[in-house]
Amino acid sequence: MIVFVFCGQAPLNTKIVGGEAATAGAWPWQVSLHITCNGNLCYCGGSLINKDWVLSAAHCLQGYVETLNKAKDTTVDNNSGIKTNRTASRIIIHPTYNNPKHDNDIALLQLSSSVTFTDYIRPVCLAAAGSKFAAGTETWVTGWGKLQSGGSFPDILQEVQVPVVSNSDCYNAYGGLVTNNMICAGLIKVGGKGPCHGDSGGPMVGRNGSLWIQSGIVSFAWAKCDDPRYPGVYARVSHSYIVIFAIYSFSFKIILKS
């Protein structure tokens, strides 16, 4: 008997609020990466895209390909008491990743063993090639990054709602650093909401009907996280989905959002 578990379903996500602690199981694809770097622990986010693979940012993992990285489920810090830990058996950096420009800032981690899907552990859907996300489209970003520049790391997974910013506005804000392989989101002229240090690699998702679609991967922002002049910048998943798909042959659902 074959049982299909579809991506993008979060049965415990019943309420969405920006800039607050997430409820237990609200984001069942959220992963926390614990990376040994220069003798210390560094933290990044990631997203579960099927039972064996995690999507994250290349800048989190470049130079640490031989490091064992622990991936834990979002519900560890969501007060659910449920968690799963894995090490990475393989890390693959996007073949055209450009550091320090962060172009194609995408990496894949193969887990040491498959995870078992539950209401608290589920994969996210990926935006297909050609997907369009117009300025103003509402998205949600999640992670355990600092609550503000120079602040502390939270114990509980945080969520924030931010609108997509056009690439032209984002390009102008960053003085030409933004490419078509990136997507931006944030509250320009308002600020106060968005990713910060420790959120890198985590997912930016939007809702398409009843399914959650990942459109971006947290890549970079201005040094001061909540600066209203600079939206958050994310690796655009739809521009790399063919590369992502080519890396492994497992089936997962692709959603086109027009």
- List the domains of the chain with CATH numbers: 28-123+240-249 (2.40.10.10), 125-238 (2.40.10.10)
Residue 200 annotated among the catalytic residues of the structure: yes
Residue 52 annotated among the catalytic residues of the structure: no
Residue 5's pLDDT is what? 52
Q: Say which of 105, 199, 215, 238 is annotated catalytic.
A: 105
The token duo for 253 is: 């659902």
Q: Say which of 32, 59, 215, 226 is annotated catalytic.
A: 59
Residue 233's pLDDT is what? 96
Looking at residue 103, the DSSP 8-state letter turns out to be B
One DSSP character per residue, 39-63 reads: TEEEEEEEEE-SSSEEEE-HHHHTT
- Least Cα distance to 68 among 36, 31, 106, 92 occurs for 36
Residue 247's pLDDT is what? 62
One DSSP character per residue, 200-225 reads: TT-EEEEEETTEEEEEEEEEE--SST
- Least Cα distance to 20 among 160, 132, 117, 116 occurs for 160
10-residue averages of pLDDT along the chain (258 residues): 62 57 86 84 91 93 54 36 80 87 92 90 90 94 86 87 95 92 89 84 93 95 81 92 62 40
Give every CB contact of residue 59 below 8 A, 6+ residues apart in sequence. 99, 102, 105, 200, 219, 220
> What gap in Å lies between CA 199 and CA 25, rounded to an integer?
18
Q: Say which of 32, 47, 56, 200 is annotated catalytic.
A: 200
Give every CB contact of residue 152 below 8 A, 6+ residues apart in sequence. 146
Residue 105 annotated among the catalytic residues of the structure: yes
Residue 248's pLDDT is what? 54
- Residue where the block lists tokens 């309420």: 15
Report in angstroms the alpha-carbon separations of 108 from 9, 222, 243: 21, 25, 10
Residue 245's pLDDT is what? 66
Note the pTM of the prediction, 2 decimals: 0.86
